[in-house]
Structures are given as structure tokens and as C-alpha cells.
Amino acid sequence: MPATSPMDRDAWQSPQLPIDERTWGSTELASPMGAGDTTAYVKSAALVALWGTSFLIGIDAELLLVTAGGSTTTWTVTRGVDGTTATGHHPGATV
């Protein structure tokens, strides 16, 4: 059974795929992000329908909470979630 929310990373088990791919998929940053930026421009929103309207993402060692725009390639984010530090990220970084 699929996870009911993005916070439920361990709720669904699949022997075929590693956890990040079976639950979330991935995209890449389309443009750089400075440490203070609250907008993330991503290359694809194709998998976002599976993630819901508010979801956690990871870029490098930082966790971010997407709070708006999840069905588009322009996401409003809260930076440095769960004790991580907001830092700059290069275009092409895996999200």
C-alpha cells in the first residue's frame, strides 16, 4: 500500500526499488538557489501528483518543505527544515 503522506517514508515497502525511488522519484534544480531563496525552480513536476500539496524535499544535505506551487516547476519552500542548514545549491542538483 502506498504511503498516505510524504512524512510516511517507511509506510510502504517494495523489494524492487530503493526507498527514494519507490516513494518519491526525483527531479533536478533548473536554476541555482542562494541560501536565502524561498523559491525553487525544478526541471519537472511530473511526479508531484504523487506527493500531495505540501511535501518535504532534500537538496544536498538540506531538507526543505514545499508549501506552494507543487503542481508546477516553481515551488515556494521553507528552508532548513528539521535542523538542517539553508545553503546554496547548484543547477542540476538532485531534488
- The pLDDT value recorded for residue 19 is 43
- The pLDDT value recorded for residue 23 is 53
- The pLDDT value recorded for residue 47 is 66
- The pLDDT value recorded for residue 6 is 46
pTM: 0.73
CB atoms within 10 A of CB 56: 18
- The pLDDT value recorded for residue 55 is 86
CB atoms within 10 A of CB 25: 15
- The pLDDT value recorded for residue 53 is 73
Q: Give dist(CA 37, CA 8) in Å, integer.
A: 27
CB atoms within 10 A of CB 44: 13
The x, y and z cell numbers of residue 36, run together, are 536565502
Mean pLDDT by 10 residues, the chain (95 residues): 44 41 74 97 79 84 92 93 95 94
